[in-house]
């Protein structure tokens, strides 16, 4: 994977972590309106995801079914594991989880990536950060369908057109659609389309010292614009953050082409573990919030240190979880599927031989 993209994945995950430091930061006068701005990390994730899908599949032929299986193996095992962990917590000690309750129907929908409306009126799964994965899986279905088209340019155009059409239909008929369809046709899908366009553009970029210098200068401004864009409310959920997120990813790609790479291990390690960081951090931030609250140490003086400790703890926990749980679990599931596939092939071969005899 490109080093600068990994660095941006780390950045995106860290932005989301900051959102959930709200309670610890409350005593210094920073409330939800401020912490909520950092939710744009998800917008950055979506643009990166669109780019990665085009970038990786354009380098080698990929069948739609193989693509979907690969994505499911990458996303589902650890997400299912943590979803079940939250559900068990909801059964054993619901007071720890706020509005999350042990709803068996919600659990099934969560595991199947089907959006549903909770009792509190929100549309999110048992592991609440998994709402973005529901959109990811919808995007993967669209992308898999586009993989059936020959030619990278046509595939990208088809994928983007399908996403735009889905959003257009969602905007036109949203009130008449079911909760899952209304959720899965929201304007955030356009951020995947932006990333797909970058995936088509990247191989066509040529190294340039002038463009590299410009990219290095533009990147911080794009990051600032990304956060500030969240301050502007739009009707219908149209993502103003899509543009600065796209510019930020483009700047990172141009810099990579020009040899400016964020390759330090302190940047790459959280990038490698960004998926784990995204999924695991609510457990860590909630633990710090509960423990600090019970100890009575949350104050204006301690809040910055508590937030920093929670942030560093989330990063460290995610890196350990990535190396000891996520990777081994994904590897185990992959090996089991390969074994099942090999047994089926051997069985098919034996049947073929027996029929020939």
The tens digit of pLDDT for each residue in 170-217 reads 999 888 899 999 999 999 999 999 999 999 999 999 988 999 999 999
Mean pLDDT of 222-230: 94
Q: Give the chain's end-to-end CA distance (angstroms, integer).
A: 50
Q: Is the dihedral of CA 193, 197, 203, 208 positive or negative?
A: negative
The larger pLDDT score, comparing residue 239 to residue 71, is at 71
- Residue 259's DSSP bridge partners are none
**Which pLDDT value is given to residue 26?**
86
**Which pLDDT value is given to residue 269?**
94
DSSP string, 33-63: HHHGGGGHHHHHHHHHHHHHHHHHHTSS---
**Which pLDDT value is given to residue 320?**
97
For residue 77, which of 326, 269, 252 has the smallest C-alpha distance?
A: 326
Which H/E stretch holds residue 312?
Answer: helix 303-321
Mean pLDDT of 18-25: 92
Angle, CA 175 vertex, CA 172 and CA 179 arms, to 5°: 115
Chain center to CA of 6: 13
The tens digit of pLDDT for each residue in 269-312 reads 999 999 999 999 999 999 999 999 889 898 989 999 999 999 99
CA distance 134 to 125: 9
- Indicate whether 89 pLDDT > 80: yes
CA distance 238 to 41: 16
- Indicate whether 121 pLDDT > 90: no
What are the distances in angstroms from CA 348 to CA 207, 300, 339, 352?
Answer: 51, 68, 14, 6
- What would you measure as the largest C-alpha separation in the chain, in angstroms? 83
Residues 6+ apart with CB under 8 A from 311: 14, 17, 18, 21
Domain ranges of the chain: 3-356
The larger pLDDT score, comparing residue 16 to residue 121, is at 16
Average pLDDT, the chain: 91
Q: Is the dihedral of CA 237, 238, 242, 244 positive or negative?
A: negative
DSSP string, 116-168: -B-TTS-B--SSGGGHHHHHHHHHHHHHHHHTTSSSHHHHHHHHHHHHHHHHH
The tens digit of pLDDT for each residue in 322-345 reads 999 999 999 999 888 888 877 777
């Amino acid at each position: 994977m490109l080093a600068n993209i990994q660095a941006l994945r780390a950045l995106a995950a860290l932005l989301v972590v900051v959102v959930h430091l709200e309670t610890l930061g409350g005593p210094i006068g920073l409330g939800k309106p401020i912490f909520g701005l950092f939710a744009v990390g998800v917008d950055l994730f979506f643009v990166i995801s669109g780019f990665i899908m085009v970038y990786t599949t354009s380098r080698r032929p990929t069948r739609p079914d193989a693509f979907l299986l690969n994505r499911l193996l990458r996303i589902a095992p650890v997400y299912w594991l943590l979803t079940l962990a939250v559900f068990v917590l909801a059964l054993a000690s619901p007071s720890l989880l706020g509005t999350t309750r042990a709803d068996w129907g919600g659990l099934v929908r969560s595991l199947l990536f089907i959006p549903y409306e909770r009792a509190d009126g929100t549309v999110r799964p048992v592991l609440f950060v998994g709402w973005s994965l529901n959109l990811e899986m919808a995007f993967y279905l669209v992308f898999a369908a586009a993989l059936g088209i020959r030619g990278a340019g046509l595939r990208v155009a088809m994928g983007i057109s399908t996403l735009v059409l889905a959003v257009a239909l969602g905007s036109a008929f949203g009130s008449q659609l079911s909760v899952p369809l209304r959720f899965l046709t929201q304007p955030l899908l356009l951020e995947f389309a932006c990333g797909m366009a970058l995936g088509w553009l990247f191989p066509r970029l040529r190294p340039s010292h002038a463009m590299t210098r410009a990219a290095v200068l533009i990147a911080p401004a794009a990051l600032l614009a990304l956060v500030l864009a969240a301050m502007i409310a739009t009707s219908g959920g149209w993502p103003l953050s899509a543009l600065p997120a796209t510019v930020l990813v483009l700047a990172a790609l141009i810099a990579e082409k020009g040899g400016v790479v964020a390759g330090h291990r302190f940047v790459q390690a959280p990038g490698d573990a960004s998926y784990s960081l995204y999924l695991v951090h609510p457990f860590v931030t909630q633990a710090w919030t509960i423990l600090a609250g019970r100890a009575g140490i949350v104050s204006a003086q301690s809040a910055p240190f508590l937030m920093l400790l929670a942030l560093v703890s989330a990063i460290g926990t995610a890196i350990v979880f990535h190396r000891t749980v996520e990777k081994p679990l994904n590897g185990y599931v992959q090996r089991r599927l390969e074994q099942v596939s090999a047994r089926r092939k051997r069985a098919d071969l034996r049947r073929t031989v027996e029929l020939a005899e």
